[in-house]
Structure 1
Amino acid sequence: MYLFEQYGMEGEEQFNFSSLKDLNFPLHFHRAYEIIIVEKGEMSITIEERNYHLTANEAVFIFPNQLHKLFTPEQSVCRVLIFSPELIGHFFSSYKGSAPEDNRFTVTEIPEKQALSSVYAQKAVLYRYCDKLIRSTTFETIKVSSKRKIIQNVLLYIDNHYQDDCTLKDVTKAIQYDYAYVSKVFYIYTNLTFTTYINRYRLTQATYLLLNTEKSVSDIAQTCGYKTLRTFNRNFKELKNVSPSVFREENKDYGKKT
């Protein structure tokens, strides 16, 4: 799934384009670049400690390993381009170790998926956005604190283990840090308890699978780490106000459009 934190780890030229509705995703990071363009509605996006409120034709350019989370207050349709650094090698080399002071920029044309079928078209669009970013902001050297490194390790562990039993106790044992300290730091960064976070993470992955695959609801529940279908249905309904089956039915034509 394109939202996985390890996307872009392969060290090859990879490109993924998606049109997503009412996108929400808790704090995460990945090696890939990510560009999110709001087509309709509005979105709130936090990148590191900066908050951005985006409306139609506004976008953010997220750099590799930048911690970020996505939230749709009411409704949104956005285009998401996620791609490996190798695809824009010259830009990556020039700004490696740096990050923009302001990740936001505006777009005048929103690309369509069919227009990005070749690697040349992809690079043309991406370098155009690189140019827009360079013209609109300055760059600063990335500073990685010990607390931020802990969060990255926790999030990476979750991405690798959310399909199985995954507790904070397991995480702290794996990364060899004190349980109480990690719990405190995690809440400060995410504003969520570990249990709430991993439930949100699993439900976000489940939402994507409901919209973009033909897997059964029970298979999706199991894939996303739920031991029982009953628990999955209850948690999904608490988040979306409808059951997974109803959600899929109401959005059955959405995935076909993307």
Structure 2
Amino acid sequence: MVFFEHHGMEKQESFRAFTMTTQRFPLHFHRAYELLFVHDGELQVTIDQTVYDLNKHDMAFIFPNQVHELKAKDGSNISIVLFSPELIGRFFMDYKGFVPTNNVIHLGETPNVEGLTSIYRQKSFLYDVCGRLVDHTDFRPIEHSTKTEAFHQILLYVDAHFGEDCTLKAVAKDVQYDYAYLSKLFIHMTNMSFTEYVNHYRVSQACYMLKNSQRSIGEIAISCGYTNLRSFNRNFKRIVGDSPKVFRELGGGGDEGGGNRAS
């Protein structure tokens, strides 16, 4: 799990490849490009309110600042690559201000992205993927609107404050928008209430902590914004399907501090 919005903000070129370890990560966006590869199973990706159903050997190519959500079926094997725009500078400049009309490509086979250990292999691989995308789809200008900017501000606020008393009233005060307007906008963009989204976001962060630290369940609940352990357990089981204890036992713990890794 990760604060996705920070990806691509590094001063140096960045390329990160890893495996998806939870079945869902709620709506988010970031400056980095993101590639999703399905080795086995199924993955549903929502990108700027367009829903794609990916199967084995499919790839999704997500552009900077495209709002997206991931939902994988149990047992699916998904690889994720996050990389800074500077790694593909020519492509980034040529298509700056545009996004694909179709973000998904079917590949003949799924690449071993974790084996791309040198900068030369990484850039060669990424430019090949860019070439496939250009051959596969058209591009459309990014639509900048007040609604989109307001929605982005809501997501950024949750990312920064999910460990606190994170309410839509607090968001409205911080971003200086009308509460009723933000409430209607959020439901329109996500088909869920703001409170439900915050619960999903908190649980997704808790999943990472349960797998990658030795902190107690109570400590994790508090760090994710829950003041009541019973409420945390109830929401966790409703969203994940297992209790936090069972989830940790099935997934196994890890070393403290796993850094910024993805879901």
Which piece of structure 1 moves more, 72-81 or 37-46?
72-81
Q: How does 1:61-100 map to 2 (within 5 A)?
A: 61-100=61-100
Structure with greater contact order relative to length (CA < 8 Å, sep ≥ 6): 2
Unpaired runs of 5+ residues, structure 2, are 256-261
- 1:226 is displaced (CA, Å) by 1.8
State the AA in 2 paired with 1:44.
Q
Name the stretch that deviates more: 192-201 or 224-233: 224-233
Task: Report what 1:209 is aligned to.
Answer: 209
> Cα offset for 1:252?
2.1
What does residue 177 of structure 2 align with?
177
Distance across 2 between alignment mates of 1:213 and 1:127: 36
Identity of matched residues, %: 46
Partners of 2:205 and 2:233 lie apart in 1 by 14
Deviation at 1:3, TM superposition (A): 4.8
Structure 1: unaligned runs, 5 residues or longer:
none
Stretch deviating more after TM superposition (112-121 or 181-190): 112-121
What are the residue-to-residue correspondences of 1:246-257 with 2, within 5 Å? 246-252=246-252
1:113 to 1:101, Cα distance in 2 relative to 1, 3 A = closer
- Per the alignment, residue 187 of structure 1 pairs with 187
Deviation at 1:75, TM superposition (A): 4.3
- Name the counterpart of 2:235: 235
Distance in 1 of aligned mates of 2:74 and 2:8: 30
| Cα offset, 1:114, TM superposition | 4.6
Q: CA deviation at 1:12?
A: 2.5
1:43-192 aligned at under 5 Å gives the runs 43-112=43-112, 114-192=114-192
Kindly provide the CA deviation profile for residues 144-194 of structure 1, in whole angstroms up to 9, marking residues without a partner as x: 121111100111111111111110000000111110011000000011111
**1:205-232 residue CA offsets vs partner (Å, 9 max, x unmatched):** 1112222333332332222222233322
Residues 192-201 or 22-31, more deviating: 22-31
Distance 1:242 1:74 in 2: 12
**What amino acid is aligned across from residue 83 of structure 1 in structure 2?**
F
In 1, are the aligned partners of 2:39 and 2:56 still within 8 Å (CA)?
Answer: yes
- The amino acid across from 2:147 in the alignment is K
CA distance in 2, matches of 1:84, 1:53: 26
Matches of 1:113 and 1:20 in 2, distance apart? 13
Q: Which amino acid aligns with 1:106?
A: H
Describe the SS at the equivalent of 1:105: strand
Aligned partner letter, 1:196: E
> 1:80 offset after TM fit, Å?
0.5
TM-score by length of 2: 0.90
2: CA distance between counterparts of 1:109 and 1:209?
A: 32
Q: Answer yes or no: is the 8 Å Cα contact 1:86–1:92 preserved in 2.
A: yes
SS across alignment from 1:44: strand
Q: Alignment partner of 1:5: what SS? A: helix
| Preserved CA contact (<8 Å) 1:16 1:81 | yes
Aligned-pair RMSD on alpha carbons?
Answer: 2.1
> What is the distance in 1 between the residues matched to 2:209 and 2:111?
24
